[in-house]
Amino acid sequence: MPLMKSWVTSANDASHPFPLNNLPYGVFSIDGTEPRCGVAIGDMILDVTAAEAEGVIALTDEPLFDLPFWNPLMEEGPAVWTAFRNRVTTLLEDGAEEQSQVAPLLVAQNTVEMHMPFAVSEYTDFYAGRHHAQNVGTMFRGAENALPPNWLHIPIGYNGRASSVVVSGTDIRRPWGQLKSPDQELPAFLPSRRFDIELEMGAIVGTASDGPITVQEADDNIFGYVLLNDWSARDIQAWEYQPLGPFQAKTTATSVSPWIVTKAALEPFRCDTPERTFELLDHLKDCGPMLYDIDLEVTMAPDGKDASTITRTNYSELYYSAAQQLAHHSTSGCPMNTGDLLGSGTISGATKPERGSLLELSWGGKEPLTLDTGETRSFIEDGDTLTLKGAAKGDGYTIGFGDCVGTILPALDTPYAR
């Protein structure tokens, strides 16, 4: 599919992340006003809440956009998702009959504050990148025992904290936790010394389900995708994760990009999952191309200095797709809710420049990175700003997500300081 032309001229630049082909969904406010739903188009935002109030958009008998999140539309299901996307496309396409009516509803992106685009019901983070799992397993168990026996048969995950999911631009406070290094006899309660990122994508459940669903049904139920940074305190994790896995190491914060890129916008970029070592059981088998060709990168900027790109990889490196993760999640009969967030797990490629965490990039701190500024990093230092970027490249257009940004603040003097 080539670039779709819009009367919003900034959307027609081949490198702009928000062309008419994209139309991502976000929540914004201006000068402290109440947050409202909007659709990005070029450098502008279509105020969808105002468009519905004025009757420009009318899909259901009850309002869908009078609340500052996209869950009401998500609850309506795929037919209404398609009708809404088609209506917005008609309003913004080149030559639109209603251009004069719609133009006053556009707001410049550089004048707004962005908010969480959806209300997170529950959050599950997976461990679905084979290269990441292989790297981490090799560091701690040796190459011959890197992958757990179940890893190549089911998507491994853990239940995270929906309460700590935050929108891009939210500062992240270095956490306190219980740490124990190999040379210590007893643990100590200290600020994390090995704070890290995880380059991930997040899938958002649109249609709720009650009981097991197939991979195809799971794919149909996914509303859209965001960039996701699963901030991780590696030293807290190393001490706590046996025997039940990550807990406090992963609850400080999870940052997501401000725009939901719909599954519909990503359809032209579908691609196959990697070749399987073992054939998956029937309830997890691919039902077509299940991943997307999305270029990903991370930059790090020390306090007040220029950013350095520290990794580049692609979403297609995952071993299990979001649909397979969702289908597996449901197999026990677990209900899945509108607004559930599924983290992909760290996305790493086969080579060192493609690794999606500092743990891997510095090989557990043994091989520090050298930034373009000349400084070195094994893990994140106070004042560092980490930025996740993602884009799918089409025929004369780009599908972008908006940056996912977080700056690390120093730990509190005591964990109970207010």
**What pLDDT score was predicted for residue 183?**
87
Cα 327 from chain centroid (whole Å): 19
Find residue 38's DSSP bridge partners.
Answer: 26, 47
Q: Is the pLDDT of residue 182 over 90?
A: no
Q: Which amino acid is at 346?
A: T
User: 309 φ, ψ to 5°?
Assistant: -75, 125
Q: How confident is the model at residue 373 (pLDDT cuts 50, 70, 90)?
A: very high
What's the pTM value of the predicted model, to 2 decimals?
0.97
Q: How confident is the model at residue 417 (pLDDT cuts 50, 70, 90)?
A: confident
Q: Is the pLDDT of residue 418 over 80?
A: no
**What pLDDT score was predicted for residue 387?**
98
Average confidence (pLDDT) over 155-174 = 97
Q: Which of 29, 19, 26 is nearest to 111 (CA)?
A: 29
Structural contact between residues 310 and 369, judged by C-beta atoms closer than 8 angstroms: yes
Q: Is the pLDDT of residue 363 over 90?
A: yes
Q: Is the pLDDT of residue 242 over 90?
A: no
Q: Residue 316 contacts by C-beta under 8 Å, 6 or more apart in sequence? A: 271, 291, 292, 293, 294
Q: How confident is the model at residue 158 (pLDDT cuts 50, 70, 90)?
A: very high
Average confidence (pLDDT) over 229-247 = 94
Residue whose tokens read 């309506």: 76
How many Cβ atoms sit within 10 Å of the Cβ of residue 204?
29
Q: Could you give the CA distance from residue 11 to residue 43 in angstroms, rounded to a whole number?
A: 7
pLDDT per residue over 333-350, tens digit each? 999 999 999 999 999 999
Is 352 strand, coil or helix? Answer: helix
Active-site residue (options: 132, 153, 328, 329):
132
**What pLDDT score was predicted for residue 305?**
96
CA dihedral 327→165→76→37, nearest 10 degrees, is -150
Q: Which of 113, 269, 288 is nearest to 201 (CA)?
A: 269
Radius of gyration of the chain (CA): 21
Residue whose tokens read 């799918």: 392
Question: 244 vs 72, 133, 219, 252, 260, CA distance in Å?
Answer: 35, 17, 29, 18, 32
Number of C-alpha atoms within 13 angstroms, CB side, residue 394? 26
Q: Could you give the CA distance from residue 213 to residue 345 in angstroms, rounded to a whole number?
A: 22
Contacts 24+ apart (CB under 8 A), 330-337: 330/209, 330/211, 330/212, 330/213, 330/218, 331/212, 331/283, 332/212, 333/211, 333/212, 335/208, 335/209, 335/210, 335/211, 336/205, 336/208, 336/209, 336/213, 336/221, 337/121, 337/122, 337/205, 337/208
**What pLDDT score was predicted for residue 181?**
87
Cα 49 from chain centroid (whole Å): 24
Average confidence (pLDDT) over 272-277 = 94
Residue 132 a catalytic site member: yes
Q: How confident is the model at residue 296 (pLDDT cuts 50, 70, 90)?
A: very high
Average confidence (pLDDT) over 184-213 = 97
Is 322 strand, coil or helix? Answer: helix
Q: What residue ranges define each of the domains in the chain, with the CATH number in brackets?
A: 9-115 (2.30.30.230), 123-409 (3.90.850.10)
Q: Is the pLDDT of residue 406 over 90?
A: yes
Average confidence (pLDDT) over 234-247 = 92
**What pLDDT score was predicted for residue 1?**
84
pLDDT per residue over 78-110, tens digit each? 999 999 999 999 999 999 999 999 999 999 999
Percent of the chain beyond pLDDT 90? Answer: 96
Q: Could you give the CA distance from residue 402 to residue 209 in angstroms, rounded to a whole number?
A: 29
